[in-house]
Amino acid sequence: MASPHDDLLQVLSAYMSPILARSVLSRSLRRCGLTPGTLERTELRRVAQALETGSRLFVDPGKLAQLQEQLRRLSDPAEDIRPVDLPIHDEDDIGEARRASWSLCDQMGADRFARQKLTTIVSELARNLVHYAREGRLQIRIEPEAKRAYVTSTDSGPGIPNLEEIMSGRYRSKTGLGAGLRGIKRLSLKFDIDTKESGTRVEAEVQL
């Protein structure tokens, strides 16, 4: 697991250049009487408060609240990130699912790559629900300590009779690129599909 110092640096670096992030962080640490080597997780709250003041001048004012929220999360990891459970019927719901994914990544302080990865998975699953099952549910659960997201899509649609063909890459879709499910599998740590005539359940575990 990354050190508290690295966690803080990672969060700050999303809002300013890495060099500036280092300098802002070391100044705030000094103000708390600490060094990168002596920073313990228990002191994160104090340092996060110093950083809220110390970073104010360097961060886009429109993004300051988001940075402060992330710093607070880091110093209080016990606070759970609430899971999301969304009914998916139409294009608006797909947008809603994408926003929910984005917001969970914000709360986690996930980097841009992880954000993109989770949002792609969520978005592909939601699109499949609307296009092929007409409707379904999408759930996203986060385990902050493990930095994992668990995405589950469930529907009572017609199922996927040619799943093997699809996953082997031999399938040519009439409606899309036919790369959605394979793409999701590639981006996931674990990926599982259970499909029958009465519906489909897809589970993806994602590293953030």
Ligand X SMILES: Nc1ncnc2c1ncn2[C@@H]1O[C@H](COP(=O)(O)OP(=O)(O)OP(=O)(O)O)[C@@H](O)[C@H]1O
Position among 111, 178, 185, 203 found at the interface with ligand X (CB under 6 A): 178
Q: Which stretch, 3-11, 35-43, 122-130, 142-150, contacts ligand X (CB under 6 A)?
A: 122-130
Told to check if 166 binds ligand X by CB under 6 A, we report yes
Told to check if 169 binds ligand X by CB under 6 A, we report no
Told to check if 204 binds ligand X by CB under 6 A, we report no
**95 is in the binding site of which of ligand X, Mg ion, none (Cβ under 5 to 8 A by kind)?**
none
DSSP state, residue 188: -
Q: Residue 44: which of 2, 16, 81 has the closest Cα?
A: 2
Q: What are phi and psi of 188, to 5 degrees?
A: -100, 150
Sequence-distant (6+) residues with CB within 8 A of 164 are none
State which of positions 62-121 bind ligand X (CB under 6 A). Answer: none
Q: Residue 15: which of 102, 112, 116 has the closest Cα?
A: 112
3-state secondary structure of 154: strand
Nearest approach in angstroms of CB 132 to ligand X is: 4
Give the amino acid at 186. Answer: R
Told to check if 154 binds ligand X by CB under 6 A, we report no
For ligand X, the closer of residues 36 and 183 by Cβ is 183
Q: Which stretch, 8-16, 58-66, 97-105, 159-167, contacts ligand X (CB under 6 A)?
A: 159-167
Q: How far apart are the first and last CA of the chain?
A: 13
* 43: its two tokens: 């002191």
Q: What are phi and psi of 24, to 5 degrees?
A: -65, -40
3-state secondary structure of 60: coil
Position among 32, 64, 179, 187 found at the interface with ligand X (CB under 6 A): 179
Q: Which stretch, 15-23, 38-46, 97-105, 174-182, contacts ligand X (CB under 6 A)?
A: 174-182
- Per CB under 6 A, residues contacting ligand X are 124, 128-129, 132-133, 155, 157-160, 166, 173, 175-182, 200
